[in-house]
Amino acid sequence: MIPIVFVEGTNAVGYGLTGNLARPDGNATGITNLYLTIGARWLELLKQAAPSVVRVALLFNPEFDSRGYVAAIEAAAAAGGVKVVQAPVRNADEIMRTIGEFAMEPGGGLVIVPPVPAFTNVELIFQLATKYRLPGIYPLLGFAAEGGLMAYGTVTADLFRNAGSYVDRILRGAKPSELPVQFPTKFELVVNLKAARAIGLEIPHTLVARAAEVIE
């Protein structure tokens, strides 16, 4: 079988890329871009940005395995007294209906759970978040630059550099089973102040100061 080195595998086991992270049991290994437990961090940052949030909708595609992220967010929410609403969405119509219904009650926020929707649907989420004045956090840094309020995740360029070392080792004779799936060690926060102003939210200066990038 042809060796495969993947990058940005958000849930390598759940999506069937490999059955074992420490010692891949097939022909694929690579770099995952997120820990499943990062979900708790997304919720923490959202609450720091918008302390009034007491309800969060977890937007995820039910056709993929997002249970690890959902479980981590639910555990953190229970500890922090935040109500979690699981919001499975497959297309634009479901996104519009789900967010519209969720926004009928106050104190809401959004967490977009990997794997992220198609970009056209992410743009729709930006629009609806602004319309209903819902603070949200996204798992890919670029989404904050495109219109999302905040994003927290890995730097893609770093992941590809790390993947390059695996490609080199495989070309020199290593087998994927000898190369454990790597986890990222560097995460960054991006804050979009323009998006914050659009929903009437003032993000604390302490949080802005911690961001690797601030979009004015």
Residue 163: its pLDDT value, please? 83
Q: Residue range 135-159: average pLDDT?
A: 92
* Range ranked top by mean pLDDT from 32-36, 73-77, 172-176: 73-77
Q: How far apart are CA 26 and CA 16, in angstroms?
A: 10
The helix-helix angle for 67-80 and 38-49 (nearest 10°) equals 50
| % of residues, the chain, pLDDT over 70 | 94
Q: How far apart are CA 38 and CA 152, in angstroms?
A: 9
Reduce the DSSP state of residue 188 to 3 states and report it.
strand
Least confident of 64-68, 115-119, 177-181: 115-119
Q: How long is the chain?
A: 216
Tokens of 25: 């049991």
Task: Enumerate domains of the chain plus CATH numbers.
Answer: 4-34+155-178 (no CATH), 38-153+187-215 (3.40.50.2300)
Residue 33: its pLDDT value, please? 72
The DSSP secondary structure of 4-67, one letter per residue, reads EEEE--TTTTTTTS-S-SSS--SSEEEE-S--TTHHHHHHHHHHHH-TT--EEEEEE-TTS--H
Q: How far apart are CA 18 and CA 27, in angstroms?
A: 8
> Residue 16 — pLDDT band, cuts 50, 70, 90?
low
Indicate yes or no: pTM above 0.75.
Answer: yes
Burial class of 96 by CB neighbour count within 10 A (0 to 12, 13 to 18, 19+): middle
Residue 95 has pLDDT above 90, yes or no: yes
